[in-house]
Amino acid sequence: GAVVSQHPSRVICKSGTSVKIECRSLDFQATTMFWYRQFPKQSLMLMATSNEGSKATYEQGVEKDKFLINHASLTLSTLTVTSAHPEDSSFYICSARVGGDTEAFFGQGTRLTVV
Amino acid sequence: GQNIDQPTEMTATEGAIVQINCTYQTSGFNGLFWYQQHAGEAPTFLSYNVLDGLEEKGRFSSFLSRSKGYSYLLLKELQMKDSASYLCAVMDSNYQLIWGAGTKLIIKP
């Protein structure tokens, strides 16, 4: 099956610093990537949808200037959490999709802790 | 290794009941999730089980047995709009989500 690799799996950073999370589709070209955030024991919350070569579409309530998404190629999307604060500590997961009618495949997730 | 198993595809009739099973072997356990995903769309959360037993939510119910490493999603009064993929995911001891490949459910009139 299709493989989506997300790195790092865990990261701890200081408040005020920025963190970049990478999401790569290893054996297929992902035209669309989704970024989710999940707080403990809660559902995945969609943050944004990005299509290769175009700007990401952010969900309501998600700050686009704080969560920078770049989808410059068909195999790589990055999420940068800028000026991270403790309330940004969460589980971030990406998923990648080929075309418009196929299912999305998920990365393993990144556990971000801001101290 | 860590593994989530669920059937690849199931077919059911509108108005009927269907049970989608999920078995798992993971390094620790911090809950099991079921998600629904329609083709070309992001998955949507259906249920979360962390204790043994049955959780009922409208037409959907989810059951968990931690000792057996087993869960099922029960869908009642099936509707055509229930045609989708159903994803089982387990959060392991490192809070990593281990995902099943999904079960494609086909509803026939």
Q: Which amino acid is at B48?
A: Y
Are the beta carbons of B48 and A41 separated by less than 8 Å?
yes
Structure-block tokens of residue A112: 């971000």
Q: What is the pLDDT of residue B10?
A: 97
Search chain A and give the residue with CA nearest B31: A41
Are the beta carbons of B40 and A101 separated by less than 8 Å?
yes
Measured distance CA(B89)–CA(B35) in Å, rounded: 8
Give chain A's mean pLDDT: 86
Measured distance CA(A88)–CA(A82) in Å, rounded: 10
Measured distance CA(A78)–CA(A57) in Å, rounded: 14
CA dihedral B5, B80, A42, B34 (to 10 degrees): -10
In this predicted structure, the answer to whether residue A85 has a pLDDT above a threshold of 90 is: yes
Are the beta carbons of B96 and A109 separated by less than 8 Å?
yes
Would you place residue A29 in the very low, low, confident or very high pLDDT band (cuts 50, 70, 90)?
confident
Percent of chain B residues topping a pLDDT of 90: 61
In this predicted structure, the answer to whether residue A21 has a pLDDT above a threshold of 90 is: yes
Would you place residue A1 in the very low, low, confident or very high pLDDT band (cuts 50, 70, 90)?
low
Are the beta carbons of A93 and B39 separated by less than 8 Å?
no
Neighbour tally for A111: CB within 10 Å: 18
Q: What is the pLDDT of residue A102?
A: 46
Mean pLDDT of B41-56: 84
In this predicted structure, the answer to whether residue A2 has a pLDDT above a threshold of 80 is: no
Q: Which residues contact B57 (CB under 8 A, 6 or more apart)?
A: B46, B47
Residue A40: is the preceding peptide bond cis (ω within 30°)? no
Q: Which residues contact B70 (CB under 8 A, 6 or more apart)?
A: B21, B22, B23, B24, B64
- Give the best residue of B34, B37, B41 to mutate against chain A (max A CB count within 10 A): B41
Beta-bridge partner residues of A45: A37
Q: Which residue has the tokens 């940068």?
A: A80
Q: Which of B31, B39, B42 sits opposite A102 (nearest CB)?
A: B39
Q: With an 8 Å Cβ cutoff, is B60 touching chain A?
A: no
pLDDT (tens digit, 9 = 90+) per residue, B4-23?
A: 999 999 999 999 999 999 99
Are the beta carbons of A49 and B42 separated by less than 8 Å?
yes
Are the beta carbons of A108 and B39 separated by less than 8 Å?
no
pLDDT (tens digit, 9 = 90+) per residue, A32-65?
A: 888 988 776 556 677 998 888 788 999 889 999 9
Q: What is the pLDDT of residue B64?
A: 98
Chain B: give the shortest CA distance to residue A46, in Å. Answer: 8
Q: Which of B40, B45, B99 sits opposite A43 (nearest CB)?
A: B45
* DSSP assignment string, chain A: ---EEEE-SEEEE-TT--EEEEEEESSS--SEEEEEEE-TTS--EEEEEEETTSPPEEPTT--TTTEEEEEEETTEEEEEE-S--GGG-EEEEEEEE-TTTS-EEE---EEEEE-
Chain A: give the shortest CA distance to residue B52, in Å. Answer: 16
C-alpha distances (whole Å) from A115 to each of A9, A13, A90, B42 are: 17, 6, 12, 31
Lowest model confidence (mean pLDDT) among A60-69, B2-11, B35-44: B35-44
Are the beta carbons of B39 and A106 separated by less than 8 Å?
no
